[in-house]
Amino acid sequence: MAIKKMRFSGVKGIRPFKVHKLFIYPLLLIFLVVSCHHSERQEWLKANGTIEAHMSRIAPKVSGRVLKVAVTEGQVVKPGALLVELDHDYLDLQLQQAEATVEQAKAQLRLLQQGARSEDISQAEQQLKQAEINLSQARIDAQRFHRLYEQGGVTQKQKEDADNRLSLAEAQYAQAQENLKKLKAFSRPEEIRAAEARLAQAEAADLLKQNIRDSVVTSPIAGVITERVVEPGELVNPGSTLVTISILDPVYLWIYISEKDLGRIKLGDEVRVKIDSFSDKDFIGKITYISPEAEFTPKNVQTEDDRVKLVFGVKVELRNPEGWLKPGLPADAYLKIH
């Protein structure tokens, strides 16, 4: 009994079992808090990166002088909105000339396809008939002058003149025959094909029409103008950037995961993202891409020790309908690990 009094002599009025509870309960509470905190840290993997957006650099298909720039930086545009218009006055003049040439080529082709007019054919038939009569008379005269020459009734000069008139009548008859034949056939297949080729060449005006349409550059997507590269009066060429459009919904976040943590995440996993501007709000995204190859940590990572580690790039896509997430904002990502 003396020993018990010595052990508890410093704590008057407190029984041994009460001393035991007083110390055990706080220790147990601390243990539970630490265990829960440890479990929470094990459930989520933290990584950081920068918000990025898909960008589209709009370029013309044709060359020309900038007539008008219809947008400014920061402006929201929809598909089909006018961005830049190039001067196309010279193309308009070329188009007018080309359209006139097309009409002329069409008229020539129609004429060849329809054939000769009936009145032209009738006239050619009459000419042939007249040539036939003249030829018949020239033959009779030539025979008669030959008999008279043999009888001494005409001179040799008269006989030769009759022969010449016969030769001329034969030539005129042959020409009249050929003329009628040509009018009835009118156009050979080769002539029609040549006319069709001339029409096709003239209809290259469609290219001019397309070039005029391409001189008016419109937005192919919805987004925000983040860069205005050209001003009115500048000369631009096909492929040169006019404006840059950023797509702000969705945006994405690139983060980098070490090899040991790579197997604890998968495509489609939910990711919580926090940014300093909205510290009380969680943005929910999902993993849409995991790099198949390891790389050294990018140079924008803070510490030199981390930059020499091999990591895997992970792309997190985030819906951004309100436009709160801006390209360039630093963000922290919390990945739920398995």
**299-328 pLDDT per residue, tens:** 555 444 554 578 899 999 999 888 888 888
Domain locations in the chain as residue ranges: 45-54+245-336, 56-86+215-243, 95-205
Q: What is the mean pLDDT of the chain?
A: 79
What confidence tens digit (pLDDT) does each residue in 85-141 have? 998 888 877 777 777 777 777 777 666 656 555 666 677 778 888 888 888 888 888
Task: Indicate the pTM of the whole model.
Answer: 0.52
pLDDT, tens digit (0-9, with 9 covering 90-100), for 223-267: 999 999 999 999 999 999 999 999 988 999 999 988 888 888 889
pLDDT value at residue 300: 52
**Distance (Å, whole) CA 91 – CA 93:** 5
Record: fold of 56-86+215-243 = OB fold (Dihydrolipoamide Acetyltransferase, E2P) (2.40.50)
Domain 45-54+245-336: top CATH class = mainly beta
